């Protein structure tokens, strides 16, 4: 029997803060429990440190630049095959609750059912200005749609409610309800459910309950202290001005508060994840369901004096990736892995052979590693949109990591000796630097990629302006009424039959505990 699959996605969670990855502060008992019974990929990377491109790449199993996912305003084209298309075509019920940041008129991308709307716009209004390569730090800068600003760091603190809390409560409510609905319906297809939260994305605010979970005295200082702006690498200097950090002086208290809010949001995520795992158990699915936990990208959270993402330093691109398969024992994998690997891994879990994949992919199945086989090979990440003058690309192979660009000097790190990336050894004769440089040049058309990006952004800006003029066609997804009427009393229903129809009894192992 094919296993069910749950892919639980979170937003902007860097891996090093979790207990499973060496963290010592954040309270995450439910994620810890998953890690204790699953495969923990210790060095997993996103393909792009930004929401939409990373998610599109993950769903398509392709580097974002190869499918035109250059930024948060890029369309995810309906003709791009996703893991949801493949699984659905091969007998799976596919469903999504929550955020995937779909841009464009196709708001399904292979999912048979959507339970919630997106939290961000589905149109192209978040397309960056195509003149970003001529960015001048001395010019007055206005807020840009879809770009975080350093002001949200200073906003850190407890709140009674936030937009993100409202959204994620809705995501989990509908996901839990869908599990119970599946357990009561007569559709015996295995399911693949994606549940995707917007936490712990900035701003770093959370309710008092979760704020108080971490005492101020617990909050550790950044592992790499603040680096003066003029001593940072050229790209990090650009990013400093891109986020408006020059306009907002941050104190040590601001750093502690932002991290405290971030940790509180992560504990909140953990509770929501626990709620879903309890529903999985109560609905009788836990013994035949593979659970995957991942984040779309990380967050610098003050490391080096940097915040948010759009950089290729590890805190922004290294993400948690845990796969708990009921048929396989827990283990840890140190070899690099990628979110691009999720596509072929899901198909492998669903029993689809490699020959079934008829379209290009850039990932590889992680199921052999889950079974204990050695994992090896390079991983790739890229950053292209605002905050950089030209595309920056990254290759990691083993402990060696290279970042190159046509606009900035190369960076090369030996992570075994320098895990916090404090000393670039680019140009010092390491033979792996030349090897990884050649590999990067083969993977990315760096001489023409910037022109392709700008042409795409110019076209999308024009389209967005035209489509917002006159009668506007809204692409944002609006959830439909439930197709199944088993949750309510309707015409012709008789008591107690209609009420009993809604019962879902505990499985036998739980009954024995009651």
- pLDDT above 70 for 483: no
pLDDT at 26: 96
How high is the pLDDT of residue 467?
A: 95
Query: Beta strand pairing status for 337-338 and 44-45?
Result: parallel
pLDDT > 80? residue 338: yes
Q: What is the dihedral of CA 326, 328, 334, 340, to 10 degrees?
A: -60
C-alpha dihedral sign at 360, 346, 172, 302: negative
What distance in Å separates the CA atoms of residue 307 and residue 302, rounded to the nearest whole number?
Answer: 5
Q: Would you state the CATH architecture of domain 4-375?
A: 3-Layer(aba) Sandwich (3.40)
Residue 105 pLDDT class (50, 70, 90 cuts): very high
Rounded Cα distance, 430 and 433, in Å: 6
How many C-beta atoms surround the C-beta of residue 64 within 10 A? 29
Note the pLDDT of residue 373: 94
Edge-to-edge strands of the sheet including 44-45? 318-319, 44-45, 337-338
Residues near 217 by beta carbon (within 8 Å), at least 6 away in sequence: none
**Any idea what the Cα angle at residue 459 is, between residues 456 and 460, rounded to 5°?**
85
Note the maximum CA span of the chain: 80
Residue 444 has pLDDT above 80, yes or no: yes
At residue 107 the predicted structure's pLDDT band, cuts being 50, 70 and 90, is very high
Q: How far apart are CA 456 and CA 450, in angstroms?
A: 10
- Looking at residue 146, its pLDDT comes to 59
132: pLDDT strictly greater than 60: no
The stretch 453-461 carries a mean pLDDT of 95
Provide the pLDDT for residue 144: 59
pLDDT in tens, 34-75: 999 999 999 999 999 999 999 999 999 999 999 999 999 999
Q: Which of 101, 214, 242, 297 is catalytic?
A: 101
**pLDDT surpassing 90 at residue 500:** no
Q: Quick one: average pLDDT of 193-197?
A: 98
pLDDT at position 496 is 76
Rounded Cα gap, residues 426 and 435, in angstroms? 13
Give yes or no: 174 in active site: no
Other Cβ atoms less than 10 A from the Cβ of 78: the count is: 12
pLDDT at 489: 74
Q: Does position 130 have pLDDT exceeding 80, yes or no?
A: no
Per-residue pLDDT of 168-183, as tens digits, reads: 999 999 999 999 999 9
Catalytic residue among 26, 46, 51, 95: 51
Q: 501: pLDDT confidence band, cut at 50, 70 and 90?
A: confident
pLDDT at residue 133 in the model = 57
Region 278-302: mean pLDDT is 97
Per-residue pLDDT averaged across 293-314, rounded?
Answer: 97
Q: For the chain, which residues make up each domain, given as ranges?
A: 4-375
Residue 511 confidence (pLDDT): 56
Question: Looking at residue 387, what is its pLDDT?
Answer: 82
- Range 101-112 average pLDDT: 97
pLDDT at residue 139 greater than cutoff 80: no
Of the pLDDT bands very low, low, confident and very high (cuts 50, 70, 90), residue 512 is low
Across the range 256-267, mean pLDDT stands at 98
Question: Mean pLDDT across the chain, nearest whole number?
Answer: 93
Share of the chain above pLDDT 90, in %: 83
**Weakest mean pLDDT among 158-162, 172-176, 401-405, 476-480:** 476-480
- More confident: 99 or 506: 99
CB 14 within 8 A of CB 315: yes
Tell me the CA end-to-end span of the chain in Å, nearest whole number. Answer: 29
| Cα 154 from Cα 262, distance rounded (Å) | 12
Q: Return the axis-axis angle of helices 29-37 and 252-282, rounded to nearest 10°.
A: 60
pLDDT beyond 90 at 275? yes
32 three-state secondary structure: helix
Lowest mean pLDDT across 266-275, 350-359, 483-492? 483-492
Q: Residue 318: which residues within 8 A CB-CB, separation 6 or more?
A: 14, 15, 16, 43, 44, 45, 298
Strands 289-295, 321-324: pairing kind: antiparallel
pLDDT tens digit sequence for 73-96: 999 999 999 999 999 999 999 999
Q: Please report which confidence band the pLDDT of residue 131 belongs to, taking 50, 70 and 90 as the band edges.
A: low
**Three-state DSSP class for residue 356:** helix
* pLDDT at site 140: 46
Task: Reply yes or no on whether 51 is catalytic.
Answer: yes
């Amino acid at each position: 029997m094919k296993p069910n699959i749950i892919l639980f996605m979170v937003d902007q969670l860097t891996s090093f803060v979790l207990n499973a990855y060496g963290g010592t502060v954040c309270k995450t008992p439910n994620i810890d429990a998953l890690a204790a019974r699953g495969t923990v990929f210790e060095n997993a990377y996103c393909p792009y440190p930004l929401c939409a491109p990373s998610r599109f790449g993950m769903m398509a199993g392709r580097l974002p630049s190869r499918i035109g996912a250059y930024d948060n305003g890029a369309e995810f084209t309906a003709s791009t095959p996703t893991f949801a298309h493949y699984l659905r075509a091969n007998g799976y019920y596919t469903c999504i609750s929550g955020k995937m940041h779909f841009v464009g008129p196709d708001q399904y991308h292979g999912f048979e059912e959507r339970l919630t709307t997106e939290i961000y716009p589905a149109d192209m209004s978040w397309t960056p200005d195509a003149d970003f390569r001529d960015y001048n730090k001395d010019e007055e800068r206005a807020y840009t749609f879809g770009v975080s600003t350093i002001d949200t760091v200073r906003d850190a603190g407890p709140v009674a409610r936030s937009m993100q809390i409202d959204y994620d409560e809705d995501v989990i409510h509908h996901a839990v309800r869908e599990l119970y609905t599946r357990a009561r319906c007569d559709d015996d297809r295995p399911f693949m459910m994606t549940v995707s939260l917007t936490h712990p994305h900035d701003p770093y605010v959370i309710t008092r309950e979760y704020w108080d979970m971490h005492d101020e005295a617990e909050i550790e200082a950044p592992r790499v202290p603040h680096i003066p702006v003029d001593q940072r690498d050229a790209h990090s200097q650009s990013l400093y001005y891109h986020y408006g950090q020059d306009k907002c002086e941050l104190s040590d208290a601001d750093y502690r508060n932002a991290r405290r809010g971030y940790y509180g949001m992560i504990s909140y995520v953990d509770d929501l994840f626990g709620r879903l795992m309890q529903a999985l158990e109560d609905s009788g699915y836990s013994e035949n369901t593979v659970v995957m936990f991942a984040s779309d990208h990380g967050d610098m959270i003050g490391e080096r004096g940097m915040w948010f993402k759009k950089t290729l330093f590890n805190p922004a691109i290294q993400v948690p990736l845990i796969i708990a398969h009921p048929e396989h024992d827990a283990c840890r994998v140190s070899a690099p892995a990628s979110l691009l690997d999720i596509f072929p891994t899901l198909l492998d879990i669903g029993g689809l052979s490699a020959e079934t994949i008829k379209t290009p992919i850039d990932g590889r199945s992680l199921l052999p590693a889950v079974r204990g086989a050695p994992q090896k090979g390079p991983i790739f990440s890229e950053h292209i949109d605002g905050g950089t003058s030209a595309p920056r690309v990254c290759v990691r192979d083993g402990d060696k990591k290279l970042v190159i660009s046509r606009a900035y000097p190369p960076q090369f790190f030996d992570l075994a000796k320098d895990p916090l990336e404090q000393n670039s050894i680019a140009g010092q004769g390491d033979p792996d630097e030349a090897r990884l440089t050649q590999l990067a040049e083969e993977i990315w058309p760096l001489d023409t990629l910037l022109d392709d990006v700008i042409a795409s952004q110019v076209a999308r800006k024009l389209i967005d302006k035209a489509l917002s003029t006159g009668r506007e066609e809204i692409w944002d997804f609006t959830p439909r009424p439930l197709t199944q009427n088993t949750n309510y009393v309707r015409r012709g229903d008789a008591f107690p039959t209609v009420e009993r129809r809604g019962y879902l009894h505990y499985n036998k192992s739980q009954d024995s505990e009651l």
